[in-house]
Amino acid sequence: MQKVKIKESVFVKYIDNTQIMKAISDVAHTITNDYKDSPSAPIMLITLSGAMPFATYLGQELGVDAQWAFVKCSSYGCSMKSGELKINMATTIPLEGRDVIVIEDIIDTGKTWVKLHDYCLENGANSVKIATLSIKRDVYKQDLNVDYVALDIVDKFVVGFGLDYDQYGRNLKHIYKLDSQE
């Protein structure tokens, strides 16, 4: 599909699934090389709900063992820009002394990444890195390193492959951008 309608908005195909899958495979191979000699498996801390598709395919491509855990964040307000970030569901796997890789669907301003980085360190993680499906480098405002990036995207409203519009569109296999955005 070249266009999809979600609620009242029309989105056009922006990144094809073939390109997405290749980018995920590349990230998985980099993580595999970085952790192949590690004495213990890293914890993959998956942010709900958007990172699930990325985490699924990333995990299938990884060449090292890993433990999987989940975390859920939200903000007080309609968007991350307006609200204070809060961790709603803490991980059930102890992070103390472990290497953690946060799995995220998208990084824009980076507020969620900073909050999760600090959360992991406060809970005793040995090291904390991040793997993200996508990043909007033009709006990323943090000094914290972004370790593994599958796709660099422009600062546009996007849906698909876990990215949503009011919880809709996560199931789309391609990434789409809002039609009115050039």
The rounded distance, in Å, linking the Cα atoms of 182 and 168 is: 22
Q: Which of 52, 112, 60, 39 is nearest to 81 (CA)?
A: 112
Largest Cα span, the chain: 51
Catalytic residue among 99, 108, 147, 179: 108
Does 16 participate in catalysis according to the annotation? Answer: no
Catalytically active residues are 108
